[in-house]
Structure formats: structure tokens, C-alpha cells
Amino acid sequence: MLDKKTVLKALERVTDPEINVPITEMQLVDKIEIDNGNVFVEFHVTTPACPPVLAVKLAMDVKDAVKKLEGVKSVKLNVTGHYMTDFINK
């Protein structure tokens, strides 16, 4: 069953590219919403000056991890706390 607990479990395998610690352990996931298979995840990066390439990689890793879950129709992300959030969220 697709629920917040299942999404969080999948995100335990996503690690910060710089320090290799799961984003769930670092408490970077701020919000998870699920509506009929459409998943929204909001998370923040460790620092506003995180290298953009790493912030984008982290966003892609989050999206890929959630997309693999059974019952997921779509994944939408919102990254916060970075000086280039508008670029990353596109």
C-alpha cells in the first residue's frame, strides 16, 4: 500500500551526495503528500550554498526512489533552502 511510511522507507536509501548519510536520518524531508498515486515530496538541502549539481542530483535521487514504488503515478518535488531553488525545482 502506498502511504507516507512506504515513501519514507524508500527515501531511507537516498543519501546526501557529499556526506553519504540518508536524507531521512538528516531530517531533510519536510512533507509527503499522496493523492491517488500522485506523490508530492518537499525537502530541504543541508545548506543554502550546497553545490547546485549536488542539489540537483539529490532531487533526481529522491524522485527516482519514489517513482519505483508500486502504485506511484507521478512524483512532484519541491526543494527548499537553496539559493537556486527555482532552477532546481524546474
pLDDT at position 90? 82
pLDDT (tens digit, 9 = 90+) per residue, 28-61? 999 999 999 999 999 999 989 889 999 999 999 9
CB 18 within 8 A of CB 54: yes
pTM of the model as a whole:
0.93
One-letter amino acid at 32 equals: I
Closest CA to 38 of 75, 87, 67: 75
Residues 53, 72: Cα–Cα separation, whole Å: 26
As a whole number of angstroms, the distance between CA 7 and CA 48 comes to 25
Element at 55 (helix H, strand E): helix 52-67
**Does the pLDDT at position 1 exceed 90?**
no
